[in-house]
Amino acid sequence: MTGYLLLGMTLTGIAATAHAQKATRPGKAPNIIFILADDQGYGDLGVFYQNQRARLNDRSKPFEVSPNIDRMAGEGTMLTQYYVAAPICAPSRASLMLGVSQGHANVRDNEFDKALDDNYTLPGTLRQLGYSTAIIGKWGLEGNDKYDLNGYLWPAHPLRRGFDYFFGYMRHADGHEHYPKEALYRKYWAENGKAVWQNHTNITSQLDKCYTADLWTAAAKKYIVDHICGREKNKPFFLYLAFETPHAVQELPTQAYPKGGGLHGGMQWLGTPGRMISTASGTPDSYTYPAYADALYDDDGDPSTPEVHWPSTYQRYATANHRIDDAVGDMLQLLKDLKIDSNTMVVYTSDNGPSNESYLPEDRFPPNKPTFFRSFGPFEGIKADTWEGGVRVPAIVRWPGHVAASRALKMPAIAYDWAPTFIGLSGQPPPERMDGVSLLPALTGKGVQQDPTVYIEYKNDGKTPDYSVFSASHRGRARNQTQLLRLGNYVGVRYDVKSAADDFEIYNVIDDPAERNNLAGQDSMKGLQQQLKARALQLHHNGDGSPRPYDNEPVPGVNPASVAPGGRLPPASGLARGDGLAPADGLAPGVDWAVYNGPFPWIPQVSGLTPAATGYAPYPSLVDTGKTLGQVYVFSGYIMAPADGEYHFFLTSDTKAFLRIHDIQVIDADYGYPGGLPREATIVLKKGLHPFRLSYHRDHDQGEPFFKLDWNGPGETRKKMGAADFFRATR
């Protein structure tokens, strides 16, 4: 326990040290703080929706307030069309950590506690680029099949997925309880005790009366101050502050939030077992914000009858959200006190839409319904829905002097864009493995912004709730296999998907955010319907343990006139075709190639990079310019599939390589690839032309450079891919 007890100094007590050392700007890259709420809806924050609700002055419509987050939005940029990667916790957070969509993530659907893929991660890439990395709060991606009582065998412990420091809940179910030691409502929803870990040490026994939103905030402030005053003060830090509120059991704090904020006020780390934080006293589950405890509303819509108090469940829910708001204000004040405000990017968002869960005993508390505050905002749908209300959440970016203040960014974006965005702060392109794109050009106004790809898939056996405020077509509707794909202003949504042939419902979510007017039946939407069906197949690869009804559907080819050579394959505007294309139609045999000079720590996304050399060849093969250490060699063009069916690809290389067909990650021989070992994969293709990108990165000398790409299709034996199999655009 010695390492933990060293944290015993209060923030106030080290303030003099911080000022004496004068916090140093940590390198060229900024610090990053990523704050994630749990089940907080788009409509739960004042600046996104609750302030509009308050202005209605309708006593039948109660509202919440979030003054600190509203202030953060005024000092930064709101992403008003931001999506989570999945409408529920574990897969949403997995895609966030991996930078990939649910079409490629290894944690999907309701796979709670499954081990996060051992590949490039958000913290791991940042650590490789010189960041100190920490997670404080909820993890839930550890792998629950290999652990003992000490946690040493968790295969995807945060320290094994790129974090230098971990303080928080390891397991998913632990996050259902907000007093880890007392576990006040444990008997109503779970049998297992809760556990808070510092790295590999269980410190729960010391956490008397610690409400977790307060605990995580105090620990986060302590981490920041320790970093700025410590041996690594010249390194930037990445802090992932993962709240598990307002999700699950709606417990109350012990007392009011401490006054002030930052170094000298707000939540303080005391470090004394039994009194770890400044609010670890009083009575657990006792404090409601007075504005909510005393709030009245018109419950029956009749102004002539007396108003009544808010039901206790909603007092609790609003208090949980307000507590996070206080924590955000506290954290931002700390950055100002430490004089690192302008060198720290802070992102605030949520992991999915609002929940109808409360985990409170039903004999004492009314059920929770997100309709009370309309936590889903102007949308319909809740957690587990791929309607906008389940997947569109608030997002704010604050970075004074770099990101515009008081701005609403209306470009669609999605959670797996954060990893490329943060990597871009160090001047590196993200790994080819990642599906997201950097949002820095849109946020800073510098550079050319790539269009993010907003794609979601998810399976849930439940139904959309039967809320009267929802349109009839959304009420009590079976979810089962669901998908969402956004193209421009249009969102395609499928519920209870039976096959790839099922039509998407199509909504213009700019004009119709509640998705009440399905446009799919209009003649003008026929082309878009075809495009949605094709793109959904071009973005998805079969997952382990999460079968989809479209897994074995042939992926349609494309019209190469719509795909820019060397670009991401294919762009969202590309028109998919299922009939193939004659090679003479603007094509010639061969492939395009480009060489990019490094150094690169991984096979990079090359969009936006300037090649050192370009040319074309009959088929992918190395030339002298592609054999230099550190260089990346990228081949692109089209593979001609001669018939519908399964195609097996075999790739062997002396060093790193990566094959994409369309946007599908077919073979990943990058992260951890030792060289010389064969990698293979199967993909079902429709007859026709399929854009591909094959990347080769000679990051170390392992003898003569080489790679070999073989394949076999329906009724064929394995052979080397040659000139007859490839085409390149000539216009």
The amino acid at residue 683 is: I
Alpha carbon distance 265, 15 (integer Å): 11
Checking phi first, is residue 188 left (phi over 0); if not, alpha (psi -120 to 50) or beta?
Answer: alpha
pLDDT at residue 18 above 50? Answer: no
Q: What is the mean pLDDT of residues 71-77?
A: 98
Block residue for tokens 């039948």: 60
Domain extents for the chain?
A: 49-379+389-443, 456-538, 566-729
- Note the pLDDT of residue 3: 34
Q: What is the mean pLDDT of residues 554-573?
A: 57
Nearest Cα to 659, choosing from 683, 676, 643, 628?
Answer: 683
Alpha carbon distance 471, 467 (integer Å): 8
575 or 105: whose pLDDT is higher?
Answer: 105
Q: Give the range among 9-23, 162-176, 326-340 with minimum mean pLDDT.
A: 9-23
pLDDT at residue 144 above 80? Answer: no
- Note the pLDDT of residue 622: 85
Q: What is the mean pLDDT of residues 591-617?
A: 93
Kindly report, residue by residue over 329-362, the tens digit of the pLDDT: 999 999 999 999 999 999 999 999 999 988 898 8
Alpha carbon distance 616, 681 (integer Å): 26
> Rounded to whole angstroms, what are the CA distances from 724 to 302, 362, 658, 687, 721?
77, 68, 22, 15, 8
6 or 654: whose pLDDT is higher?
Answer: 654
Confidence of residue 724 (pLDDT cuts 50, 70, 90): very high
Kindly report, residue by residue over 260-290, the tens digit of the pLDDT: 999 999 999 999 999 999 999 999 999 999 9
- Note the pLDDT of residue 551: 95
> Rounded to whole angstroms, what are the CA distances from 327 to 288, 333, 728?
16, 10, 55
Looking at the DSSP assignment, which residues form a beta bridge with residue 657?
669, 696
One of 2.60.120.1560, 2.60.40.740, 3.90.1150.170, 3.30.420.10 is the CATH number of 566-729, namely 2.60.120.1560
* DSSP output for 370-397: TTTTTTTTTS---TT--SHHHHB--EEE
- Note the pLDDT of residue 186: 64
Checking phi first, is residue 488 left (phi over 0); if not, alpha (psi -120 to 50) or beta?
Answer: left
Kindly report, residue by residue over 677-708, the tens digit of the pLDDT: 999 999 999 999 999 999 999 887 777 888 89
- Note the pLDDT of residue 564: 43
- Return the CATH class of domain 456-538: alpha beta
Kindly report, residue by residue over 41-63, the tens digit of the pLDDT: 999 999 999 999 999 999 999 99
pLDDT at residue 93 above 90? Answer: yes
> 3-class SS at 584?
coil
Kindly report, residue by residue over 481-536, the tens digit of the pLDDT: 999 999 999 999 999 999 999 999 999 999 999 999 999 999 999 999 999 999 99
Question: What angle, rounded to 10 degrees, do the helices at 67-74 and 312-337 form?
Answer: 40
Q: How many CB atoms lie within 10 A of CB 665?
A: 19
Q: What is the mean pLDDT of residues 147-153?
A: 61
Kindly report, residue by residue over 192-205, the tens digit of the pLDDT: 578 999 999 999 99
One of 3.40.720.10, 3.40.50.720, 1.10.420.10, 3.90.550.10 is the CATH number of 49-379+389-443, namely 3.40.720.10
- Note the pLDDT of residue 146: 61
- Note the pLDDT of residue 705: 87
- Note the pLDDT of residue 561: 60
Confidence of residue 29 (pLDDT cuts 50, 70, 90): very high
Residue pair 217/267 in contact by the 8 Å Cβ criterion: yes
Q: Give the range among 22-36, 345-359, 467-481 with minimum mean pLDDT.
A: 22-36
Q: Which residues contact 547 (CB under 8 A, 6 or more apart)?
A: none
The amino acid at residue 191 is: E
- Note the pLDDT of residue 102: 98
pLDDT at residue 562 above 80? Answer: no
Residue pair 25/401 in contact by the 8 Å Cβ criterion: no
pLDDT at residue 578 above 90? Answer: no
Kindly report, residue by residue over 108-133, the tens digit of the pLDDT: 999 999 999 999 999 999 999 999 99
Average pLDDT across the chain, whole number: 90
Confidence of residue 629 (pLDDT cuts 50, 70, 90): confident
Confidence of residue 624 (pLDDT cuts 50, 70, 90): low
> Rounded to whole angstroms, what are the CA distances from 569 to 557, 564, 663, 729?
12, 8, 6, 13
pLDDT at residue 414 above 60? Answer: yes
Q: Give the range among 87-96, 192-201, 243-252, 400-409 with minimum mean pLDDT.
A: 192-201
